[in-house]
Amino acid sequence: MAREKTTYRMVNENPCNMCMPMGGILPFKGIEESMVIIHGSQGCSTYMRRHIAEHYNEPIDVGSSSLNEKGTVYGGAQNLFQALDNIRKVYRPRLIGILTSCLAETIGEDVEGIARYYLKQRGLEGISLVAVSTPGYGGTHSEGYWLAVKKIVAGLAETTGKHGGINVIVPNLSPADIREIKRILNLMGVRYTLVPDISDTLDRPIARPYTKIPPGGTSIESVRRMPGAAATIQFGVTVEEKLSPGHYLQSEFGVPLYNLPVPMGVEATDRLVDLLAQLSGNSAPQILNMERGRLLDCMVDSHKYNALGSGALFGDPELVYAVARTCAENGLYPAVVATGSGNAILEELLGPILADSPQQARYLNEADFTQIREACRETGVNIAIGHSDGKYLTEREGIPLVRIGFPIHDRVGGQRLLSVGYTGTTMFLDRVTNTILEHKHRNYRAAMYRKFYRKTGIEECPHEKYCAKEVR
């Protein structure tokens, strides 16, 4: 495995990641009756609302303290106070997340201090404020996501008696994925608190009456009681300890942590089911065994096609790892694995998978799409798997893209994509296999031309520019 650093290049050309506060918004959308404010320029909340709304096709309300030039001189506490007042009055939330963006951070706002002072000054009870310091230059949206989850847990957690439930902490997955994880938890008969639960709030059914804060999300009470759980299951093996809510609960409250990969693929889903069986004393119900069997059947059916795939995987580190495992299980070895994050753990974890690969795979840390594109060319990638910015690879290199993760801006239904559990993996693999097949059929003539007629002097294939790499 060859690893590359990006330091020789100054330019970030077509980024593979967004900024920290963007990721920080999402977990707050998975907490019941909560709202979120960005302390900074109002453009931050507007841009992020726009991008999140386009992915989930849902209203995304995010307040802003609308800091302006005056605030940069005198500090922004007054604006934040006003923002909190107005959000409380109109939305009546029980929890307000306060994220910072570049401006507040650069002028050195002590947002936790301001939040504490606000509660005291207004004499408020029954409302929680969770402040998270998320400068745009402090990391990518992945780090912002995990830090916000950790701060929510740390901000609400109370010392409680043991209640025997299980904490489940999830990365940024689709609402459909969260629903599937909850279904598995229910099938295994465990009592759980899943944080953050965006399954209903960011994939909201048409229902009456319309409310400004969507119904659903993890209840604040259950987050408070997380320290009393028998165990924490966190799908966050790529998460640094300082950002990890599971590690926080372990070190502060002694809740045993089971840090697992996202339950995608046979092995990772088995690990979850086995762990749940062990924790609950229940064995997996027949329905799950059937689903597992169907996944295996799917893999048998499609391995012959998938083995022809040479994949480029990119996106959030946690999801990239899950996708890499899943693909490798089916013989679709990744040729390029990339993340916009600066994540050291992912590289280590990928080691054994990439070592099994029949070809030399490339790992790109802190990558942009220009690097990913170059790596794809060099390695002969013929399928890309990741978020919608990978469309660039399709446009420029003719590499088809299977969309997964966040954001998906050029298709509908990103919120409904199911890819976890035995059933979700089956659906994911089908999407991958069918993309490979479609691509193969579409390019059959061009591939044949290249193989047999190129040197005969027949004029260049008219479809050449739409054709991808030759399928090996």
Partner 1 sequence: MAINEKMLEEILNKYPAKVKRNRKKHILIRDSALETQEIEANTRTIPGIVTNRGCAFAGCKGVVLGPLKDMVHIVHGPIGCAYYSWLTRRNKARADEPKKNFLAYCVSTDMQESDIVFGGEKKLARMIDEVVEIFKPNAITISATCPVGLIGDDIQAVAKAARAKHGLNITAYSCEGYKGVSQSAGHHIANNGLMENIIGEGDWEEPPSKYTINILGEYNIGGDSWEVERILNEIGYEVQAVMTGNGSYEKLKNAHVAQLNLVQCHRSINYIATMLETKYGTPWLKVNFIGIRATIESLRNMARYFGDEALIKRTEEVIEKELAEIEPQLEPYRKICSGKTAFCFVGGSRGHHYQGLYEELGVTTVLAGYEFAHRDDYEGRDVLPNIKADADSKNIPDLHVTPDERRYRLKIPAERMEELKQEIPLSNYKGMIDDMTDGSIVVDDLNHYETEEFIRILKPDIFSSGIKDKYIPQKMGIPTKQLHNYDYSGPYAGFRGAVNFARDVAMGFATPTWNFIMPPWKNQPLLEGTVEDCTANTCVEEVAT
Cβ atoms of 168 and 181 closer than 8 Å: yes
Whose tokens are 């969309």? That residue is 403
Segment interacting with partner 1, rule: CB under 8 A, options 17-25, 195-203, 276-284, 345-353: 17-25
- State yes or no: residue 67 binds partner 1 (CB under 8 A): yes
Among 2, 3, 74, 82, binds partner 1 (CB under 8 A): 82
Whose tokens are 């301001």? That residue is 114
Among 74, 137, 444, 453, binds partner 1 (CB under 8 A): 137
With CA atoms as reference, report the closest residue to 429 among 405, 411, 407, 404.
404
**How many chain residues touch partner 1 (CB under 8 A)?**
73
Among 1, 4, 107, 270, binds partner 1 (CB under 8 A): 107
Q: Which is nearer to partner 1, 103 or 276 (CB)?
A: 103
Among 1, 112, 138, 308, binds partner 1 (CB under 8 A): 138
Tell me whether strands 311-314 and 383-386 are parallel, antiparallel or unpaired.
parallel
Least Å distance between CB 373 and partner 1? 12
- State yes or no: residue 164 binds partner 1 (CB under 8 A): no
- State yes or no: residue 74 binds partner 1 (CB under 8 A): no
With CA atoms as reference, report the closest residue to 317 among 341, 353, 351.
341
Give CA–CA dist 116/108, Å, rounded: 16
Among 25, 26, 31, 84, binds partner 1 (CB under 8 A): 84
Q: Which two tokens stand for residue 412?
A: 């509908």
- State yes or no: residue 353 binds partner 1 (CB under 8 A): no
Q: Which is nearer to partner 1, 108 or 457 (CB)?
A: 108
Among 1, 4, 15, 308, binds partner 1 (CB under 8 A): 15
Burial 274-289 (b: 16+ CB within 10 A, else e): ebbbebbeeebeeebe
Q: Which is nearer to partner 1, 170 or 372 (CB)?
A: 372
- State yes or no: residue 89 binds partner 1 (CB under 8 A): yes
Least Å distance between CB 387 and partner 1? 12
Among 24, 29, 32, 79, binds partner 1 (CB under 8 A): 79
Torsional sign, CA 230, 236, 237, 240: negative
Torsional sign, CA 114, 115, 117, 118: positive
With CA atoms as reference, report the closest residue to 236 among 153, 288, 173, 156.
173
For the window 140-159, what string marks contact with partner 1 as x by the rule CB under 8 A? Answer: x-------------------
> Which residues are CB-contacts of 275 (< 8 A; sequence separation ≥ 6)?
233, 258, 260
- Judged by CB under 8 A, the chain residues 369 through 408 that form the site for partner 1 are 392, 395
With CA atoms as reference, report the closest residue to 79 among 87, 71, 69.
71
Torsional sign, CA 165, 166, 171, 175: negative
Segment interacting with partner 1, rule: CB under 8 A, options 130-138, 174-182, 272-280, 319-327: 130-138
For the window 186-225, what string marks contact with partner 1 as x by the rule CB under 8 A? Answer: ------------------x-x-xxx-x-------------
- Judged by CB under 8 A, the chain residues 27 through 66 that form the site for partner 1 are 37, 40-44, 46-51, 53-54, 57-66
